[in-house]
């Protein structure tokens, strides 16, 4: 795995140590964020990259909210650099063997994604980008692996970034961009269609 060694090690240490209690502490908080964008989301045909997937809460959310998830044609690749977060996701998947072939997990740095260009048509990234040593690099890597017109859903912790800088970075690359800045939610959420 290729990453900015100093910052990468710090992030891995942080999330490896919070992995055992991450879901009990953050599940409902994260689900509230997903609810902001999922009302119109169509799962059929999606090739999703979940950038900074953690323990797989988005997978849990999809599993809970899409009755026909087992028969829906979609795929999801979860990417994270914390081995402990991924272990929890992997353990979870073992209980849903019927979905195993649709979900894959990769340990990697979001700034150096090990995928060919234009592999995905949907990006989810919740509460992860603020951890990157270089957000611009992480965002451009995500753009590289996405097809043009990909659906893009990104959230970042408001307190950890310069929100205007982040909007300025993303805005030129999205059409139909919607910014969700709900006072009760700690993240700024941005959705739109990728215009490469």
Query: From residue 42, how far is each of 37, 62, 74, 190, 196 by CA, in Å?
Result: 11, 11, 10, 17, 22
Beta bridge partners of 126: 155
Site for ligand SAM contains 54 (CB under 6 A): yes
Site for ligand SAM contains 62 (CB under 6 A): no
In the list 48, 60, 74, 82, the residue contacting ligand SAM (rule: CB under 6 A) is 82
In the list 37, 59, 93, 127, the residue contacting ligand SAM (rule: CB under 6 A) is 127
Q: How far is the CB of 192 from ligand SAM (least distance, A)?
A: 19
- The nearer residue to ligand SAM, 13 or 178, going by C-beta atoms, is 13
- The nearer residue to ligand SAM, 66 or 195, going by C-beta atoms, is 66
Binding track over 135-174 against ligand SAM, x by CB under 6 A: ----------------------------------------
Q: Sign of torsion, CA 188 191 195 196?
A: positive
Token pair, residue 66, equals 């899409």
Can you say how many angstroms the Cα of residue 57 is from the centroid of all Cα atoms in its chain?
10
Using the contact rule CB under 6 A, the part of the chain among 66-74, 79-87, 96-104, 159-167 near ligand SAM is 79-87
Nearest to 135 by CA among 117, 106, 157: 157
Using the contact rule CB under 6 A, the part of the chain among 68-76, 121-129, 170-178, 181-189 near ligand SAM is 121-129
In the list 89, 126, 153, 166, the residue contacting ligand SAM (rule: CB under 6 A) is 126
Nearest to 41 by CA among 133, 136, 124: 124
> Mutual orientation of helices 57-65 and 5-35 as an angle, nearest 10°?
20
121 and 142 Cβ atoms separated by less than 8 Å:
no
Which residues of the chain form contacts with ligand SAM (CB under 6 A)? 11, 15, 30, 52-54, 57, 80-82, 85, 109-111, 126-128, 131-132
């Amino acid at each position: 795995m290729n990453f900015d060694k100093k910052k990468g090690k710090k992030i891995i240490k942080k999330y490896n140590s919070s992995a055992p209690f991450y879901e009990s502490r953050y599940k409902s908080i994260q689900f509230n964020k997903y609810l902001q964008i999922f009302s119109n989301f169509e799962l059929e045909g999606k090739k999703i990259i979940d950038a900074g997937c953690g323990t797989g809460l988005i997978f849990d959310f999809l599993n809970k909210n899409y009755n026909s998830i087992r028969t829906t044609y979609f795929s999801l690749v979860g990417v994270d650099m914390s081995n402990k977060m991924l272990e929890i996701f992997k353990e979870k998947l073992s209980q849903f063997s019927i979905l195993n072939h649709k979900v894959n997990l990769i340990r990697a740095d979001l700034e150096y994604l090990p995928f060919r260009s234009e592999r995905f048509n949907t990006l989810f990234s919740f509460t992860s980008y603020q951890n990157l040593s270089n957000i611009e690099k992480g965002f451009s890597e995500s753009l590289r692996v996405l097809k043009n017109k990909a659906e893009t859903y990104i959230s970042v912790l408001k307190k950890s970034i310069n929100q205007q800088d982040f909007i300025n970075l993303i805005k030129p690359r999205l059409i139909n961009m919607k910014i969700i800045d709900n006072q009760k939610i700690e993240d700024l959420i941005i959705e739109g269609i990728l215009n490469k």
